[in-house]
Amino acid sequence: MTDVTMIVNGQVRGASVPPETTLLQLLRDNFNLTGAKLGCDVGDCGACTVIVDGQAVNSCLMLAGQAEGRQILTIEGLASRERLHPIQTAFENSGALQCGFCGPGVLLSAKALLDENLNPSTQEIRDALSGNLCRCTGYTKMIEAVQDAARLLREESRTQLTHARTEATAP
Amino acid sequence: MKAFGYVSAKDLEHAITLLGEHGARAKILAGGTDLLVELKHAVHNPEVIVDVSRLHELKTIAVADDGLHIGALVTHSDIMNSPVIRDMFPALVAAAHSIGAMQTRNLGTLGGNLVTCVPSMDSGPALIALDASVTVANAEGRRRMPLAELFVGPRKTSLKPGDLLVDIVIPKENLGKPAAFEKFGLRKGQALALVNVGASFWVGDNSVFVAPRIALGAVAPTVIRAPKAEAFLDGCKISAEVMAEAGRIAAMEAKPISDFRASADYRRDLVAVLVKRALANAQARATAKEKELVA
Whole-angstrom distance, CA of residue B196 vs CA of residue B271? 8
Query: Residue A66 is nearest to which of B4, B51, B102, comparing CB atoms?
Result: B51
Instruction: Determine the pLDDT at residue A171.
Output: 66
For residue B131, the SS3 value is: coil
Predicted confidence (pLDDT) per residue in B269-295, tens digit: 999 999 999 999 999 999 998 888 887
**Region of poorest pLDDT, from A162-171, B137-146, B245-254:** A162-171
Picking from B136, B79, B82, the residue whose alpha carbon sits closest to that of residue B109 is B79
Query: Residue B32 is nearest to which of A2, A56, A63, comparing CB atoms?
Result: A63
Predicted confidence (pLDDT) per residue in B91-139, tens digit: 999 999 999 999 999 999 999 999 999 999 999 999 999 999 999 999 9
Domain residue ranges in chain A: 2-77, 86-169
The CA distance from B86 to the nearest CA of chain A, in Å, is: 18
- From first to last of its 171 residues, chain A has per-residue pLDDT tens of 999 999 999 999 999 999 999 999 999 999 999 999 999 999 999 999 999 999 999 999 999 999 999 999 999 999 999 999 999 999 999 999 999 999 999 999 999 999 999 999 999 999 999 999 999 999 999 999 999 999 999 999 999 888 888 888 776
Beta-carbon contacts of B74 under 8 Å, excluding residues fewer than 6 positions away, are: B58, B59, B60, B61, B82, B109, B110, B111
Q: Work out the burial of residue B269: count CB atoms within 10 Å of its CB; fewer than 13 is exposed, 13-18 middle, 19 or more buried.
A: middle
Alpha carbons within 13 A on the beta-carbon side of A121: 3
Domains of chain B, earliest start first: 5-51 (3.30.43.10), 56-174 (3.30.465.10), 179-285 (3.30.390.50)
Report chain B residues touching chain A, CB-CB < 8 A.
Answer: 1-6, 8, 29, 32-33, 36-37, 39-40, 49, 51, 53, 77, 100-104, 106-107, 188-190
Class of domain A2-77: alpha beta
Do residues A78 and A56 lie in contact, with contact meaning Cβ atoms separated by under 8 Å?
no
Fold for the domain defined by A86-169 = DNA polymerase; domain 1 (1.10.150)
The CA distance from B51 to the nearest CA of chain A, in Å, is: 8
Whole-angstrom distance, CA of residue B213 vs CA of residue B278? 11
**What are the strands, taking DSSP E only, across chain B?**
5-8, 26-29, 48-51, 61-64, 67-71, 133-138, 141-146, 151-153, 156-157, 164-171, 179-184, 195-203, 209-217, 224-225
Q: Please check whether residue A59 touches B, CB under 8 A.
A: no
Whole-prediction pTM? 0.96
For residue B76, the SS3 value is: helix
Whole-complex ipTM: 0.95
Whole-angstrom distance, CA of residue A75 vs CA of residue B101? 20
Cα-trace Rg, chain B: 19
The CA distance from B292 to the nearest CA of chain A, in Å, is: 27
Strands of B164-171's sheet in order across: B61-64, B67-71, B164-171, B133-138, B141-146
> Average pLDDT of chain B?
97
Instruction: Determine the pLDDT at residue B127.
Output: 98
Predicted confidence (pLDDT) per residue in B47-106, tens digit: 999 999 999 999 999 999 999 999 999 999 999 999 999 999 999 999 999 999 999 999
Do residues A73 and A53 lie in contact, with contact meaning Cβ atoms separated by under 8 Å?
no
Count of Cβ atoms closer than 10 Å to residue A142 Cβ:
26
Residue A11 host element (H or E) = strand A11-17
The residue type of B42 is: A
Count of Cβ atoms closer than 10 Å to residue B39 Cβ:
21
Query: How many contacts does A have with B, using Cβ atoms within 8 A?
Result: 87
Mean pLDDT along residues B173-190: 94
